[in-house]
Each structure stands twice: as structure tokens, then as C-alpha cells.
Amino acid sequence: MAEQECIFCRIGRGEVPSEFFYRDEVVFVIGNINPEAPVHLLVIPFAHVEALAEEPGESLATLHALFAGAAGGAREAGVANQGYRLVVNQGPNAGQEVTHLHMHLLAGRRLGGMG
């Protein structure tokens, strides 16, 4: 998907209104429109990266920014001390729906097992 058409890129550029829970120069955090938990945030890099494997040299910096953004979003959403789950889906077999790298933050209740 081209960056111009990507919904996450459009939100990051301010073309699509959204409530930001956190933002810095690298990532922003918004609520998921189809939440799977009482708190379901998306941590998204401003740069259009479709997968971590695309930019192996920059993957660690991108991951660092995603985790820092998740921590900031968790604090803003008031769930930092309760606990939360972080999930990254990569590719169609993992359930990735938007082909722009992002991390899900799930919280607000006791979460079930992973499998």
C-alpha cells in the first residue's frame, strides 16, 4: 500500500481526525476503532514501514520507539500500573490488517492466555 493511501500515514499527517494518547517525533498512539479489550491502543511509527524485516538496520530503533510509545500510551490511558499486553502482528497469517507496522496495547481487564 502506498504511503499516500495508508490510513495510519494519513492519521499521522493529521488528515484523518483521531484522539492521540501519546506522540513524539517517531511514533503516535491512538485508540483502536474495533477494540478487543477495554483499553486497546495502537502504537504507530510516523514512517511508513510495512514490516520489521524491510529495514533490518533500523529495526532496533523502530522497536525501541514502539516500546517507548507503548509506555507513554499506557501512562496516558491510566493502565501502566495495572499491566498490559503488547502484540505485533506481521503479515496476513498473523492477522495484520493494515500493512503499516504497528503495535497493539491491550489492557483494562485480566487478559486470557495466549494460545
Residues labelled catalytic: 102
CA distance 56 to 62: 10
CA distance 59 to 106: 23
Asked if residue 30 lies in contact with residue 18, where contact means CB atoms within 8 angstroms, the answer is yes
Burial string for 83-101 (b: 16+ CB within 10 Å, else e) reads ebebeeeeeeeeebeebbb
Q: What is the DSSP letter of 52?
A: G
Number of neighbours of residue 8 by Cβ within 10 angstroms = 23
